[in-house]
Structure 1
């Protein structure tokens, strides 16, 4: 019972595998045609530019890396303009006089104001400046970042903002360079793909019109590969790689694999072919062959041949080519005793398509007549690539496909690089945004740190001045106290030994600790853990934390982002 169930499952899986062939299942070269279809589907695809996700408007959409960078860079320039000096803003506000970056750079009066800024960036500055003020101002932006910003704050933030903007410029320039290289490689690869499919004559005629993403020019009979007034066997039997012969391009070889030298039963690949296409003798013309190709190509694109949603890539193209060449020599029909393998086995490994094996007759791909597979050996609806495979040349169109696959690998690597550059630019954009948003915190920290603190006497100081050993003016002075004649009592000197407050770069407690070290001789200094002997003097070695800590941490965080 278990064995019977396994058999049923195996039968179902076998039938399912046949279902993918649909109309191609009954044809002798259906599987080889299906493998060729996979390659054809990829060779006809366009090669789009690198896409980056953009979710700025909730709905996620794909945009090119160049478009994404343009948007990021535009916002970075606008953010940087919020802290720009008045001289730059004045030029940007007078676009009637200064039209663009080229005009600014050519003007002796103002070009020095934009030193280090390229013309392209100045153009972006002109486009972004109106969004900061006047009727065209972006209210949401100006409210978020508190524009206009006062002069003192602008001057304080300008250096950091400019450094970040320069980093963004470098990223933009790098993306442009990599993008241009990738665009050129995409176009070159598309041409290689179409050359592999249609041949050299097609590429020569349409080279200037072929782009990476545009519609490919239609193949016409004038560029078609088939040699008119010649037989099917002369054009297809033995691959030479020459124009008009098998091995030159995929389209040529698909026709060779799908017809015999007759005017009937020419449906060796798909029943969507016109079986009555006339290839008798030397009757077939370029028009005949082009008609056949269009039929089999359309069936590839529209039929269920097991290659749905196939996207071109280096790996996919290489895999499809390997699958096709792995079938060389496998589709043979036994017409008689196999006889001596030395007589008929040597050429099998170079044959693609169905062919006869009979006795000691050498295998070949002659397909003249209505029923080439029902006769003797040496017949077959196939192509013999043996001569090409014996040389270093190989099969021309397959070589071109593999060259395109190698380029696609490089294009993918460029794509990864471009996306990384965009991510880095987004990080810089966030850094400038944060710099502007926390500027009030920076201002408050700086202001508080610069204020002189009012010293509050410690309990120790108050006790010392309250009960000095010598209760005279001189005695008060000896213990660091003053005599208050109005209140007739001793009091601590203002700011004396106050360890809780300080002014400027340190506080009183820290200063007292340092004074304690500076008075020591060398031997005593070296014995004190908080002191060190340096340059013939005793100095404090402890880490002093002052009121500038909050400001220095915030400032340092932005400086660190620049490197």
Structure 2
């Protein structure tokens, strides 16, 4: 778990790339004044935005947001043809509001702290792992330590007194429990765990003897992903292993390795009676509870907790990327779907406007008819002309006369002040005059709704 965790690689993501593309669309449909503030080749201090915001209440906010908009400008500069389509697009007010809302989310995603904290979290894992393995975050395992000149002293004496290096690092503990002291006591932990020519009898041999132990660990125990659940399982198994009492009188506890006889010789690296190749941990009593004192245990838990944090961070970034992809798809619908539906909608409105003309022409085409015959045709009778004529109210009204739905809407808007007009459905304010905008507004909203529904179901 610990050695693999130090080789973590950041999973690739396209969060910033997608956010920049969204920002480029926003800049393309924005007015020229906004575009002049942001240049693809100028950082904040040299930008027009900095000059415009200097000493203003919003200066800090603009400075924070500037990197996002600069990268959006870079995107436009690298693909001018694509974004020229957006510059020429005439979006409705509702579509622009949708785009604005998406822009805010994209800018926020661009600045998300998770996009820049991977290496800091990885460093935290590495530091904890090195503390567990070697005894400190600055150590690499190549140090010439510990010094086994007095092996029983550093690994454990007389089976009851802890070693001075016991529990300080996994490297020290495994050297005590596995490294051969002399020929004849070989491969105590695995078939290939000993160095081919060295014995652990001096400090210089520590790094060389540690290398085969480190290489063989993954093949002699299941390699699990580093996170708290797996670490808790591993530590529980380890504590169960060392808690089993050893010695002829079964009074020697918290020993990793093998202790022979009464253990009077301590963990001196030999297989003689009363000795052993082992490490003796310190037993600490608190009231009626006794537990081993092992320094690297807490560092191991901290490493697992840091690994949890990086896994959660990766999930958040994945979710952020999914959300941005959906937003990019939605923003794209504002131009493509609106244009494709517009012709159909306008044709439908034209056909509706032609219906009154058809009724009027049908009545006038009937001549030399009696009053009774005109009535049966749904028309009135012209006494003098002896022709049928359309009933009152079915004639085509003159544009802007106030007759019919269009006229009614115009009358409803007429005479309103600007603030009243903008709050009244079907009205708009144009050239200091209230105007009927029901067709424009309703048509655009319908198209946008259709586009969004289409993007969800197809």
> Aligned match of 2:208 in 291, 298, 301?
291
Question: Is the partner of 1:169 in helix, strand or coil?
Answer: helix
Sort the Cα spacing of 1:164 and 1:367 in 2 relative to 1 into closer, same or farther, 3 A.
closer
Aligned counterpart, 2:32: 86
Q: 1:497 to 1:317 in 2, by over 3 A?
A: farther
Question: Structure 1: which 5+ residue stretches go unaligned?
Answer: 1-38, 52-62, 207-215, 339-343, 472-478, 513-545
Q: Which residue of 1 aligns with 2:416?
A: none
Aligned residue among 480, 492, 496 for 2:390: 492
The range that moved more, 292-301 or 309-318, is 309-318
Q: Is 2:45 the partner of 1:108?
A: no
From the superposition, tell whether residues 468 and 83 of structure 1 become closer, same or farther in structure 2 (CA, over 3 Å).
farther
Cα drift, residue 275 of structure 1: 7.3
CA spacing shift, 1:289–1:398, aligned 2, 3 Å: same
- Gap change, CA 1:274 and 1:156, over 3 Å in 2: closer
**CA pair 186-245 structure 1, distance change in 2 beyond 3 A:** same
1:347 corresponding residue in structure 2: 252
**Counterpart for residue 124 of structure 1:** 71
Alpha-carbon distance between aligned partners in 2 of 1:235 and 1:453, rounded to the nearest angstrom: 100
| 2:357 is the counterpart of 1:418 | no
Contact kept in structure 2, 1:365 and 1:384, CA below 8 Å:
no
Tell me if the contact between 1:277 and 1:292 (Cα under 8 Å) persists in the aligned partners.
yes
Counterparts of 1:500-539 in structure 2 under 5 Å?
none
Partner of 1:196: 132
Q: Secondary structure of 1:354's match?
A: strand
- C-alpha separation between the residues in 2 aligned to 1:392 and 1:481? 108
Encode CA deviations 1:365-417: one digit per residue, 9 max, x unaligned: 71437432xx2xx4322223351586577421122112211222232222212
Structure 1 residue 130 displacement after superposition? 1.9
Task: Identify the match of residue 448 of structure 2 among 536, 544, 555.
Answer: 555
Q: CA RMSD in A?
A: 4.9
> SS at 1:438's partner residue?
helix
What are the Cα deviations for residues 324-354 of structure 1, in whole angstroms up to 9, with x where unaligned? 3332255968xxxx6xxxxx23434x22212
**Partner residue in 1 for 2:241:** 327
Instruction: Tell me the residue number matched to 1:371.
Output: 271
| Structure 2 segments unaligned to the other structure (5+ residues) | 409-438
Task: Look up the match of 1:171.
Answer: 109
- 1:52-95, Cα deviation, whole Å (9 max, x unpaired): xxxxxxxxxxx2x3xx11211122122333322233445557x6
**1:209-235 CA distances to partner (integer Å, 9 max, x unpaired)?**
xxxxxxx856322xx3x1465x11110
Tell me the equivalent position of 1:19: none
- Residues 422 and 482 of structure 1, relative CA distance in 2, 3 Å threshold: farther
1:462-473 residue pairs with structure 2 within 5 A? 462=363
Q: Which residues of 2 match residues 179-258 of structure 1 at below 5 A?
A: 179-200=115-136, 203=137, 206=138, 217=140, 219-221=142-144, 224=145, 226-227=146-147, 229=149, 231-237=150-156, 245-258=165-178
Tell whether the 8 Å contact from 1:263 to 1:370 is kept in structure 2 after alignment. Answer: no
Residue 440 of structure 1, CA deviation: 1.0
TM-score (norm 2): 0.70
The whole-number CA distance in structure 2 between the counterparts of 1:247 and 1:388 is 13
Contact 1:367 1:379 in 2 (8 A): yes
Pairwise CA distance, 1:190: 1.6
From the superposition, tell whether residues 391 and 297 of structure 1 become closer, same or farther in structure 2 (CA, over 3 Å): same
Matches within 5 A, 1:375-386: 375=273, 378-385=274-281
Alignment partners' CA distance in 1, 2:281 and 2:213: 22
Aligned to 1:47: 8
Structure-2 change in CA distance of 1:445 and 1:351 (3 Å): same
Note closer, same or farther for the CA distance 1:162–1:448 as it changes in structure 2 (3 Å cut): farther
Contact 2:270 2:276 in 1 (8 A): no
Q: Equivalent residue for 2:422? A: none
CA deviation map 1:155-184 (0-9, x unaligned): 7743332222222222333xx223445543
**SS, match of residue 255 in structure 1:** helix
Q: Does the aligned pair in 1 maintain the 2:363–2:389 contact within 8 Å?
A: yes
Q: For 2:277, what is the secondary structure of its paired residue? A: strand
> What is the aligned length?
406
* 1:33-44 pair list within 5 angstroms: 41-42=3-4
User: CA–CA distance in 1 between the matches of 2:395 and 2:301?
Assistant: 82
| Structure 2 match to 1:435 | 334
Distance change in 2, residues 1:385/1:71 (3 Å): same
What secondary structure is seen at the aligned counterpart in 1 of 2:306?
A: helix
Hey, what's the Cα distance between the residues in 1 that align with 2:304 and 2:104?
37
Aligned partner of residue 323 in structure 1, secondary structure: helix
Deviates more, 1:416-425 or 1:392-401: 392-401
1:548: Cα distance to partner?
7.9
The TM-score, its normalising length taken from structure 1, stands at: 0.58
